[in-house]
Structure 1
Amino acid sequence: MMNIVKQSRKSNSPSLPKKQFFFGKNNVALIATVLLATLLGTYLDLLLVHSGFYTFPKRLFPKLFSINILFTLVILPIITTSFLMVMSKIHPFVRPLLLLIIGIFAYLFELMAERIGLFIHAPKWNHLNSFIGYILFFMMMWRFYSLLVNSTKNK
């Protein structure tokens, strides 16, 4: 049996406004930032793959794409969304620590992906590049998101 609780008609307190997910001010900023992250991630992968820094031997539609579109179109947006949601809820002094943790996880994931054959780096590649690159990438995404959120608050 299910009980549904409704606000009493005799109540003087106003009902709580419903939260909108897709059209809230911060969610427009979130969607715009995730789209930017997807585009930037895709173009960076294209550039680095075509420059010979790394390849993706196992990828979806290998005859069509030289990059791993599963990562750039699914995994990166999920990680970016999660990152932005966590960053917006944590204390500003903890944010650099989260960025450092992301850099470490990117470094470790890259090593693991190479071991299982998802990734092949050129001998000239230094995994420190990924550590620093992901920290800078997510710093840029956070800055872009923050600018969008703050610009909508000032209107």
Structure 2
Amino acid sequence: MNTAKHSKKWNLQLSQRKPFSARSKHFSAYISTILFASWLGTYLDLYFVGKQWYSFPVRPYSNIFTINIAFTLLGLPILTTFFLYFIEKMKTWKKGVFIVTISLIMMLSEKQSEAIGWFVHNDQWKHSYSFFGYVLFMTIIWKFYRWMSSM
């Protein structure tokens, strides 16, 4: 009579996989956070455009929307997905460095967008506002994701 032995490699692979409920919880936290980031970004843009701090001269459906809905409905969810993917894998102190670095990159991207004509700030705007705004925004998004993951 032959008996089959289980491979140690097979047992190791099984033990590393998350149970289905943990994966679906993780997926739900991602989706919830992406939707929250898009919603928050949309309302922040509506607020700052309404206060005339900045504007989007080139935007889809400009006769209907005062903000760039392509960014808030496509760009922001994609960027949020990458942000969550990378920040999840980092140690605590690196997360802060990552947020600061991404905030600097976004601030510089705004300047480039202004040079191209996609984005216009009013004369009193200081780009340091953008930097601190992105730091706060990403910190809120990360905290929201952690909160959703713990539920």
TM-score range with shorter-chain normalisation? 0.7 to 0.9
Question: How many residue pairs are counted as aligned between the two chains?
Answer: 141
TM-score, L = length of structure 2 = 0.86
Between the aligned residues of both structures, percent identity stands at 39
Is 1:145–2:145 an aligned residue pair?
Answer: yes
Partner of 1:51: 51
Cα deviation, 1:34-90, whole Å, max 9, x if unaligned, reads 100000000000010011001100000101111001111111111111111111111
Partner of 1:122: 122
Q: Secondary structure at the match of 1:145?
A: helix
Partner of 2:93: 93
Alpha-carbon spacing, 1:76–1:19, altered in 2? closer, same or farther (3 Å): farther
- Between 11-20 and 30-39, report the one with greater CA deviation: 11-20
Q: Distance in 1 between matches of 2:60 and 2:52?
A: 19
Larger fraction in helix: 2
Q: CA deviation at 1:149?
A: 1.0
Query: What's the Cα RMSD here?
Result: 2.0
Q: Distance in 2 between matches of 1:34 and 1:123?
A: 32
Give the letter for the 1:125 counterpart.
W
Partner of 1:110: 110
Q: CA deviation at 1:26?
A: 1.0
Cα deviation, 1:81-107, whole Å, max 9, x if unaligned, reads 111111111111200000011110111
User: How do residues 26-41 of structure 1 correspond to structure 2 at under 5 angstroms?
Assistant: 26-41=26-41
Partner of 1:77: 77
